[in-house]
Chains A and B, each alone.
Chain A
Amino acid sequence: MHPAAKPVGFVVCLMPFLWLVWAAFTNGLGANPAEALVRSTGDWTLRALCLVLLVTPLRVITGCTAWARFRRMAGLFVYFYALMHLLSYSWFDMGFDVADTVRDIIQRPFILVGTTAVLLLTLLAATSFNRAIRALGARRWQQLHRLVYGIAALGLLHFFWMRSGKNDYAEVAVYAGIIGVLLGWRVWRAWRTRTP
């Protein structure tokens, strides 16, 4: 793979964020910029999640191991957008008011689901560098990082629950479909390698 592939991937993954910052400062986020920021950072978290889950199937199916080099970067972008999502919510929606936030979470439990997913992602991001992998041992590290499957499920639940207000599940179905296929492929592969 071309040596520039990784830096290019990095810039591409960062572009949605740069675009949002640009739009926020140039009044380009529509009538309700706070809502637009909260929603689009959430959307981009889900998209990054699809991307990171795509890495392994791509590597196995194409037989090109170079894809694995993008996995950590994609994973860290999931965490980055999830953090921006949480930050947009607590800052622009809640104004960092703890009492308001607690009240809001009691009424909207799906926020708690999302927050749990971010906390779990923190665990993965904190153990994403080489020394952590060595310290944990490859096997334990891999077991820990399988948490991302659970995190994907939590993210979907969070999105589904949020959209239930409008009975509008079209977009949720798209993400559930993509993530379902990517996780289903793993189940299928594990099952196939186990049976003789």
Chain B
Amino acid sequence: MIIKTQRDGFLHGVPSEITPAGVYQQRRTLMKHLATGVAGAALASWAARQAMAQGTPRPGKLAALPGGRSAVAGASTMEKLTDYKDASTYNNFYEFGTDKSDPAKNAHTLKTSPWTVEVEGLVRKPGKFAIEDLIKLSAQEERVYRLRCVEGWSMVIPWVGYSMSELIRRVEPLGSAKFVEFVTLADPKTMPFVGSRVLEWPYVEGLRLDEAMHPLTLLTFGMYGEVMPNQNGAPVRLVVPWKYGFKSGKSIVKIRFTEKQPATAWNVAAASEYGFYSNVNPNVDHPRWSQSTERRIGEDGLLAKKRKTLMFNGYEAQVGQLYAGMDLKKFY
């Protein structure tokens, strides 16, 4: 007698059991975590990532700006996302005040439309981009990056944007271009603290051309599946996940290609404390505080221990080769 069962010798998995590509691609990191004994945390974040596989839930505050899954290595950390509320109320944006609660209170005056970004300097195709055109220049991707502030705190934020290299390729830098300078808005009419003596205005940041070309360097238009809140640098900002947060300029109005290293805001203000590179590095302390640990915002309340800061903020595998042979204590 033939007994028929459901079994056909092959078990089909259901879609919900399929490991997301992002997790699969980071299996080595997962194994490393297992080996170093943080398996519990890693698995918890893996579960969180699973739950989010359908895309980050939108906070529902601003217009939607969905981003597709990114194929760039290291583009999506599996760690637990920082709450949108924390990420949008705890900001350093000195044009709106130096207290971290100031930008969320004051940045409503920022006028993000019309907005143009001017590309100039050593490029074959300089030009002015209206923000609507810049957004459509390349497909929007979601990138879940760790953000490490030089002050010693960190977050995990799902940004929406595309690799800065997409724009750079289109404007065709000349052979003499070695650096990219990012000039941000300094409008005393809408930014109450422009003119304060804390820094020189406008706030200028810069990268070496190869750093700007790295696929992880993100020209960013939104976060949490929505357009950027003003206090986080609307309508367009940079995100360089392996560098301290201040390297990622907000509300960018000009991108300039230069031969000489740009004079960047914090470097001009205090050269001995803030270098041009400012890569996240637990082994090179800030002269006035340690950089070996960080407080992850929103992590397990008051009594949570600080976590160890990772070399290049955990992106060493992706960006380490950019700095091969460089003395990172000298080029801090």
Contacts and interface: CB of A to CB of B under 8 A. Distances in A.
Interface residues of B, number: 28
Interface stretch (B4-12, B40-48, B49-57, B289-297): B289-297
B98 A107 contact: no
Nearest to B83: A31
B303 A92 contact: yes
Given A107-B290, A165-B288, A167-B199, A33 B302 contact: yes
Interface in A16-65: 24, 30-35, 37
Interface class of chain A by DSSP: helix
Given A92-B303, A167-B197, A32 B288 contact: no
Interface class of chain B by DSSP: loop
Interface residues of A, number: 20
Contacts of B199: 167
A34 B295 contact: yes
A31 B98 contact: no
Nearest to A24: B302
Given A107-B285, A168-B198, A32 B153 contact: yes
B298 interface: yes
A37 B303 CA distance: 12
Given A30-B90, A32-B90, A107-B289, A168 B153 contact: no
Interface of A: 24, 30-35, 37, 91-92, 95, 100, 103-104, 107-108, 165-168
Interface of B: 85-86, 89-90, 98, 100-101, 153, 196-199, 269, 285-290, 293, 295, 297-298, 301-303, 305-306
12 contacts: A30-B89, A30-B101, A31-B85, A31-B100, A31-B298, A32-B297, A35-B153, A35-B295, A92-B303, A107-B285, A107-B289, A168-B198
